[in-house]
Chain A
Amino acid sequence: MYDDVFIHLKDRSKEDEVADINVNTVNKYFGDVHVIKDISLDIKSQSFTVLVGPSGCGKSTMLRMIAGLEDINSGTISIDGQVVNDLPPKQRNIAMVFQSYALYPHMTVFDNMAFGLKLEKRSKDEINERVNEAARILQIEDYLLRKPKQLSGGQRQRVAIGRAITRKPKVFLFDEPLSNLDAALRVQMRVELAKLHNELDATMIYVTHDQTEAMTLADDIVVLDTGIVSQKGSPLELYDKPNNMFVGGFIGSPKMNFMPSKILSKSADSTEVDIMGMSKISVPKLSASSSEGDAVTLGIRPEHLVVNGDSDGSWESKVFVVEKLGDVTYLYLEKDGEPLVAEAEGHSDIKVGDTVKVGFPAGRCQLFDSSNQAFK
């Protein structure tokens, strides 16, 4: 009879070490489609974790399983040490912000934010206090008596977040909350979300397909690809050391350039590769599984390509599009049908049709073997 309590206490005692949310070999099928494949995740208490990936990768499904909106086919999800597989959402101590905001159109902003509290049968004073507090944090005090349709997109978004805040949950779940906003507002809300996380000290799990949001907001990023975790780590870990070609290509904008290459020789601390027959370079990375003569892919970010400057390997390329953004200029280069994007200085005088010398420092590139795994 006391077992439950006991286990609970035991878990609480280890709270500092134990992850707040634990996902253990979870599987999910929609009919015959296997959308989540044996995913295990530890999400630390009070961290801001971003699940990122292209559409259809299972990131929203994962979030909805944590929320209790989707059943789990196998595996367990625990929050704060308690397995929540069969618990309804309201007992998981979570709050969720939806992509479409999902505000109740017939209720005022105040009632939208108070709905959950009213269902919990809180006292009037407490409801007032909590709603006003949330409204203050989100600066929507002036709109409390309006209906959602009288609000702008950004204001609606704040109400949706406010609705989550009033319930003082342990975990906040965000399902692509900014994707319906225009670009300028998105940047602004991003900053406010980061501020909010600092203020509330709550665990936040955030789903997005936008790697910029992931990079800017996250303590930890989880990159999902077709139902599996491709890589988990801090933003810079993912940027500097992608596990595989998918993560390399997904993180960073513009995208990492990929060039077909071939291993010429291997040494103790580097691998020498030939890039499309134009250039040879010795990369300080290794892979036990590949051998001389293997085809590999070399990845280099546009910002690491050096145009008309000193670099380790270099070749000549023709410019066919120039995009001037002010702070930087992107050059679209072509060599033997392989497109490349390179970053040049903002006021570069390179024109379409010019031939430029391109190269990169060996330490900046990545190598991926034939199964797309990165060299270490």
Chain B
Amino acid sequence: MKKISLSSILSQLLLLFFVIVWLIPTFGLFISSLRDKDLLAISGWWTALTTTEINEIYRMSGMEAQIEEDGYFKIKGTLFEENSGKKIESFGINSKKINEFMIGDIAIFKNESEVILDQDGNYEWRSKSEFQNKKGKRLFTTSLSPPSFTFENYREVLFKEGIGRAFVNTMAVALPSTLIPLIICSFFAYSLTWMKFFGRDTLLAIIIASLVVPLQMSLIPILSIYNDFGALFGVAAKSYPGVWMAHTGFGLASTTFLLRNFLKSLPNEMMEAAKVDGASHYDIFLRIIIPLSIPAFASIFILQFLWCWNDLLVGLVFLDQVPSEIILTAKLKELLGSRGENWEILTTGAFVSMTVPLFIFFALQRYFIRGLVAGSVKG
């Protein structure tokens, strides 16, 4: 018994509006990353979705390609790449009059050579006398281009611009930076929940306070610790283990807090049953806590992993900006500065950096949301 009321239509429209506004920026980036880089620079990405009229300049082949046939010297060839899908509407031989000829017309150059063109871009250029120029003449075409997409940008960005390596580097930062806090915080949260010791409540209060301490408070002292450490032992001050530990430090409070909230929700009697069964704390941890915490671990893993993957500041401060250490976000920022006009690199690079988060988002959205909601209970 559904009734279609005005208010229901209005709310549907309003929601649709929000959805479109929220979707368009990412969608535009995605489309752009799949476009030909020359088209990308001269037309908006939205034009790529429909058949569009485009004007292009092509040069025909030079004298090497000529053959003698029926008393003519001929140069045959095609303007477009295979399967471009473009259809020529009109063409010209002069930049002033680019629409001078229609398909089927014979265009005659000043040197009396003539050219015919079909709509798929195949041309036949013939002359009574032998062609003398190394370079062919230019043709100006106006054609209808269907939507066309290419992975060329991705190939370029992954292997030539260093984004591929930055991807690996980011993984090498994010994975340990997620797993290490998960390991040490699960023991920490366990002891805060199920063990009795002096100062437990104080420790818990410190964790809660640390939840909101901005990481800016830690940057300068830790950087100087790392510098001293590096100088003392003659190792690099900026290193992967350094970043892992920094991320571990900054994620420690929230990871512990979330895990403790989860552990607290496990029934006390189950732990006691295990104790009566003769389990040590480590037995309980391995055989009971870990199997039961898998969903909580998944949520926390996702939150911390995304945080580390998406981080810029920590990677900027604690890693050298060299190809073997630079992370994706820092690389993107670098490209924004140096290749600001090369949108095919920027859009594709940005999209590469988003693949992992988006994969996690679509595959594990349930755990992601659960983690966020659990974390927000207190914040």
Residues in A lying within 8 Å of B, measured CB to CB: 64, 67-69, 88-90, 94-96, 98-100, 102-106, 115-116, 119-120, 163, 167
Contacts and interface: CB of A to CB of B under 8 A. Distances in A.
A100 B266 CA distance: 12
Closest 10 CB pairs of A and B: A90-B278, A116-B277, A102-B269, A102-B273, A98-B269, A106-B291, A89-B276, A102-B270, A119-B278, A96-B276
Contacts of B273: 96, 98, 102-104, 163
A104 B270 contact: yes
Contact of A115 (B267, B274, B291): B274
B374 interface: no
Interface of B: 267, 269-270, 272-279, 283, 287-288, 291-292
A100 B269 CA distance: 7
Contacts of B291: 106
The secondary structure that dominates the A interface is loop
A67 B273 CA distance: 10
A102 B275 contact: no
A68 B274 CA distance: 12
Given A106-B291, A106-B292, A119-B283, A69 B275 contact: yes
B279 to A, nearest CB: 6
Nearest to B278: A90
15 contacts: A67-B272, A68-B275, A89-B275, A89-B278, A90-B279, A96-B272, A98-B269, A98-B273, A99-B269, A103-B270, A104-B274, A104-B288, A119-B278, A119-B283, A163-B277
Which of B274, B275, B276 is the most central at the interface, judged by chain A CB atoms within 10 Å of its CB? B276
Among the interface residues B270, B277, B287, which one has the most CB atoms of the partner chain A within 10 A?
B277
Contacts of B292: 105-106
A69 B274 CA distance: 11
A116 B278 contact: yes
Given A89-B278, A98-B269, 16 more contacts: A67-B272, A67-B276, A68-B276, A69-B276, A89-B272, A89-B275, A89-B276, A90-B277, A90-B279, A94-B276, A95-B276, A96-B272, A98-B272, A98-B273, A106-B288, A116-B276
A318 to B, nearest CB: 49
Contacts of A106: 288, 291-292
Contacts of A67: 272, 276
B288 to A, nearest CB: 6
Contacts of A95: 276
Contact of B275 (A88, A100, A105): A88
A126 to B, nearest CB: 15
A102 B283 CA distance: 16
B317 to A, nearest CB: 42
Nearest to A96: B276
A114 to B, nearest CB: 10
A54 B374 CA distance: 37
Contacts of A96: 272-273, 276
B272 A69 contact: yes
A362 B273 CA distance: 50
A115 B291 CA distance: 14
A89 B277 CA distance: 8
Contact of B277 (A68, A69, A105, A167): A167
Contacts of B279: 90, 115, 119
A96 B270 CA distance: 11
Contacts of B287: 115
A115 B286 CA distance: 13
A261 to B, nearest CB: 46
A294 B270 CA distance: 53
B292 to A, nearest CB: 6
A106 B290 CA distance: 10
Contacts of A68: 275-276
A48 B218 CA distance: 62
Nearest to A167: B277
B277 to A, nearest CB: 4
Given A104-B288, A105-B292, A106-B292, A119 B277 contact: yes
A100 B267 contact: yes
A297 B170 CA distance: 82
Contacts of A94: 276
Nearest to A70: B272
A90 B275 contact: yes
A234 B274 CA distance: 33
B320 to A, nearest CB: 45
A115 B269 CA distance: 15
Contacts of A89: 272, 275-276, 278
Nearest to B272: A69
Most buried by A among B267, B273, B283: B273
A191 B91 CA distance: 100
Contacts of B272: 64, 67, 69, 89, 96, 98, 102
A100 B273 CA distance: 11
A257 B66 CA distance: 124
Contacts of B267: 100, 102
> Which among A89, A99, A163 has the highest number of chain B CB atoms within 10 Å?
A89
A116 B288 CA distance: 13
A106 B286 CA distance: 13
A116 B272 CA distance: 12
A118 to B, nearest CB: 9
A116 B279 CA distance: 7
Contacts of B269: 98-100, 102
A115 B284 CA distance: 11
A106 B270 CA distance: 12
B263 to A, nearest CB: 15
Contacts of A120: 278
- Of B270, B283, B291, chain A has the most CB atoms within 10 Å of the CB of B270
Nearest to A173: B276
A163 B269 CA distance: 14
A296 B292 CA distance: 58
A326 B312 CA distance: 79
Contacts of A100: 267, 269
Contacts of B278: 89-90, 116, 119-120
A100 B287 CA distance: 20
A50 to B, nearest CB: 20
A98 B273 CA distance: 8
A21 to B, nearest CB: 16
